[in-house]
């Protein structure tokens, strides 16, 4: 099977043919992938943001959609020919299987419980959620991370209330959906900051009430002029930039919440005045919005079916697997919404 392999950090992925294991182990499911999304987390892995990568060479990708080809011993939650969303957050049901090991040039290639930058993938049962054929396969990968993370951040981490002010730093694939999620729970105002004007305009179509340029020299004053001098009720950072995180915390209301979605580089430390944390102010890191895919994906699909959840404008670029490095460059440049990989031409 064709796959994109991370052989060396800070280098392009290598497109190659891998050999699948001869048999599936307990809890493993073989999936034929149709589409995969590209998340900022994969860029972080390629760039070794968290430090040395001890698992090279390995596969990447954690949001996708595909068809079940085969199931291993003990699998009860999915069956052959099921259409499934592939996600990195675990379900409460289903087995957590041993991660698979592929072979390339007689060497081992590692993988996690789910990977999606490959034509076929052996996935842990609890990283799959069955869906029907109603939703367009091209849109389905968004439910693997971009939507579930964003809505989880708003519902679970920030617990945004009606009429609360929300500020979002970074309007990429997750940031766009955070704006949409904040609108769905009737937050106001919803302020988005980005370096790319096009992304700000796209976010306004999804519920953003105010858009500001991250290049502005008076950005802090502009934000406070919208949310009030005491600061915003909720500020969410998706950039992972230490200086942006410091600003976000500074502009959060004394009774408010600063939620961190983006992950800073290993040596990008932040400096904050921590006294407000001893009272009512909250600074919290999000882990996928604490979403539970088997519960949340059906809920969010209902919103899509009724027209409350907008998906069509979220995907801005599509590439075949052979051009995945070009796709990654576009994600890295920060000009895209969500970028997807089409596996139909593999």
Q: Give the residue-averaged pLDDT of 300-315.
A: 91
Percent of the chain at pLDDT exceeding 90: 89
For residues 219 and 193, is the Cβ–Cβ distance under 8 A?
Answer: yes
Ranges of H-type helices in the chain: 40-46, 146-152, 173-184, 197-204, 219-227, 242-250, 293-305, 324-333
> Could you read off the pLDDT of 119-169 as tens digits, one per residue?
999 999 999 999 988 888 999 999 999 999 999 999 999 999 999 999 999
Secondary structure letter of residue 169 according to DSSP = E
Query: Long-range contacts made by residues 217-226, C-beta under 8 angstroms, separation at least 24?
Result: 219/193, 219/247, 220/247, 220/250, 220/251, 223/167, 223/191, 223/193, 223/251, 224/251, 226/165, 226/189, 226/191
Q: How many CB atoms lie within 10 A of CB 237?
A: 27
Tell me the C-alpha distance between 306 and 254, whole Å.
38
Tell me the C-alpha distance between 7 and 144, whole Å.
25
pLDDT > 90? residue 107:
yes
Q: How confident is the model at residue 346 (pLDDT cuts 50, 70, 90)?
A: low
Put simply, whether the predicted model's pTM sits higher than 0.85 gets the answer yes
Q: How confident is the model at residue 51 (pLDDT cuts 50, 70, 90)?
A: confident
Q: How are the residues of the chain apportioned to helix, strand and coil, as percentages rounded to the nearest 5?
A: 30, 30, 45
Tell me the C-alpha distance between 286 and 156, whole Å.
9
Q: Give the residue-averaged pLDDT of 170-197.
A: 96
Half-sphere exposure of 61 (CA within 13 A, CB side): 34
Candidates 57, 90, 24, 39; CA nearest to 291 is: 90
Percent of the chain at pLDDT exceeding 70: 100
Tell me the C-alpha distance between 60 and 38, whole Å.
9
Dihedrals phi, psi of 178, to nearest 5 degrees: -65, -40
What rounded mean pLDDT belongs to the chain? 95
Tell me the C-alpha distance between 224 and 346, whole Å.
50
Tell me the C-alpha distance between 321 and 327, whole Å.
9
Dihedrals phi, psi of 151, to nearest 5 degrees: -70, -35
Question: What domains are defined for the chain?
Answer: 2-139+314-342 (3.90.180.10), 149-288 (3.40.50.720)
> Could you read off the pLDDT of 16-49 as tens digits, one per residue?
999 999 999 999 999 999 999 999 889 999 998 8
Q: 3-state class of 66 per DSSP?
A: strand
């Amino acid at each position: 099977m064709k796959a994109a392999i991370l052989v060396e950090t800070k280098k392009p992925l290598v497109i190659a043919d891998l050999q699948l294991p001869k048999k599936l182990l307990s809890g493993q499911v073989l999936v034929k992938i149709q589409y995969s999304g590209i998340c900022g987390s994969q860029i972080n892995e390629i760039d070794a943001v968290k430090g040395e990568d001890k698992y090279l060479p390995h596969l990447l990708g954690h949001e996708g959609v595909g068809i079940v080809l085969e199931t291993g011993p003990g699998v009860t939650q999915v069956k052959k020919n099921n259409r499934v969303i592939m996600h990195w957050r675990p379900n409460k049901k289903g087995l957590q299987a041993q991660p698979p090991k592929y072979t390339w040039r007689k060497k081992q290639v590692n993988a996690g419980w789910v990977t999606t930058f490959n034509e076929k993938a052996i996935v842990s049962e609890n990283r799959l959620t069955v869906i029907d054929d109603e939703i367009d396969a091209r849109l389905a990968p968004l439910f693997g991370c971009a939507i579930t993370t964003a809505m989880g951040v708003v519902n679970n981490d920030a617990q945004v209330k009606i009429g609360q002010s929300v500020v979002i730093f970074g309007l990429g694939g997750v940031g766009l959906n955070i704006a949409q999620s904040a609108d769905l729970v009737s937050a106001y105002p919803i302020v988005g900051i980005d370096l790319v004007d096009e992304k700000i305009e796209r976010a306004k179509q999804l519920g953003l009430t105010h858009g500001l340029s991250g290049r502005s020299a008076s950005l802090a004053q502009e934000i406070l002029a919208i949310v009030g001098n005491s600061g915003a009720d909720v500020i969410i950072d998706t950039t992972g930039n230490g200086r942006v995180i410091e600003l976000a915390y500074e502009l959060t209301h004394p009774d408010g919440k600063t939620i961190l979605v983006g992950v800073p580089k290993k040596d990008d430390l932040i400096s904050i005045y921590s006294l407000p944390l001893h009272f009512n102010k909250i600074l919290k890191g999000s882990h996928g919005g604490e979403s539970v895919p088997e519960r949340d994906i059906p809920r969010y699909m209902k919103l899509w079916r009724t027209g409350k959840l907008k998906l069509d404008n979220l995907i801005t670029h599509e590439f075949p697997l052979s051009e995945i490095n070009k796709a990654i460059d576009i994600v890295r440049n920060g000009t895209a919404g969500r970028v997807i990989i089409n596996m139909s031409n593999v």
